[in-house]
Amino acid sequence: MRLARPRLLQRLKRRALGVTAAALVLPVVAGIAGTAAASAAPVAHRAPAGGYEEVFVDSSMGPIKVQIQWASRGGNAALYLLDGLRARSDRNAWTYETNALDQYRHDNLTLVMPVGGQSSFYSDWYAPSNFNGQQVTYKWETFLTQELPAYLETRGVSRSNNGVLGLSMGGSAALTLAAYHRDQFKFAGSLSGYLNISAPGMREAIRIAMLDAGRFNVDSMWGPPWSKEWLRNDPFVFAPKLEGMSLYISAASGLPGQYDKPRKAIDYFNTTNAMGLEALSLINTRAFQLRLATLKIPATFSFPANGTHSWAYWSAELWQARGQILDTLKAW
């Protein structure tokens, strides 16, 4: 009986210490849990290692859907892939019109694909379009350079180790975003973009294209044709701001190539349109090439002998740019 009492006392002491430790730890745990619950996204120091996710990110336009393929080994580099003029509200076309996800699945690079923004040029607009009853004012530049990076940072993506690439409307937008946000982007790519929008007839062509793609009024975007916003968003004009940027610029000839296989009347109609759009992009891109040469700003240019304004060619160009993108962002 004398031996049992010391053992009982020891057990009681250990239990008391355990209760005291729990009393000290519980408020700390509760505080951490409360912070996580209140935050917009889980806080992490490293991006998820691989995998695909769809999230909604708060913005001044309301929640914006973003499709994300995480870097295979949790790296902090990201490539923003911008859509074209007819961007849909449910999916970014890079995810279903191309094999972009497969191309970069094993690379240490996160693909960031925002959804929506039809006819937006990924710009901050003056006002909602008054031709189609648009309810909100587009603020895509703010979203892509402030609100979205703030969210991605909580998931381990760097604010400064990024690239941006787009096609057509997204091509000129990619260069615009990179030029004015050098602290965010190290690489910019334009595929079949319109890079000389101050050229004769280009502003009128953009006006007509935006009316056709959702009845958007271009005056709500950059104001009347004499507004300074047109110059701010013209790659030919702001080209000096791209000095030191890693650039990949592409446009094909407009002649049908290996991916153009029209069979029905509608196919021939679409191919004819795609030929004209690509030829116009080529003229713009060649002018931009001369502009960069005059400024002695190096860039990688790709001018395939055949190719129209269509997704299969852009998918191929994304693959061609892959090495440069991964090198620039150190994302191998």
Known catalytic residues? 168, 278, 309
Say if CB 162 and CB 77 are below 8 A apart. Answer: yes
DSSP string of 165-209, one letter each residue: EEETHHHHHHHHHHHH-TTTEEEEEEES----TTSTTHHHHHHHH
Q: How far apart are CA 275 and CA 280, in angstroms?
A: 9
Distance, CA of 125 to CA of 221 (rounded, Å): 4
Does residue 164 sit in helix, strand or coil?
strand
CA 312 to chain centre: 19
Reduced to 3 states (helix: H, G, I; strand: E, B; else coil), residue 218 is coil
- What are the DSSP calls for 53-80, one per residue? EEEEE--TTS-EEEEEE--TT--S-EEE
Dist. CA 67–CA 70, nearest whole Å? 10
Q: Which two tokens stand for residue 176?
A: 């615009």
Beta carbons of 281 and 197 less than 8 angstroms apart: no
User: What is the 8-class DSSP label of residue 240?
Assistant: G
Q: How far apart are CA 2 and CA 214, in angstroms?
A: 91
Q: In what order do the strands lie in the sheet with 246-250?
A: 52-57, 64-69, 110-114, 78-82, 162-167, 185-191, 246-250, 300-302
Distance CA 196, CA 212 (A): 21
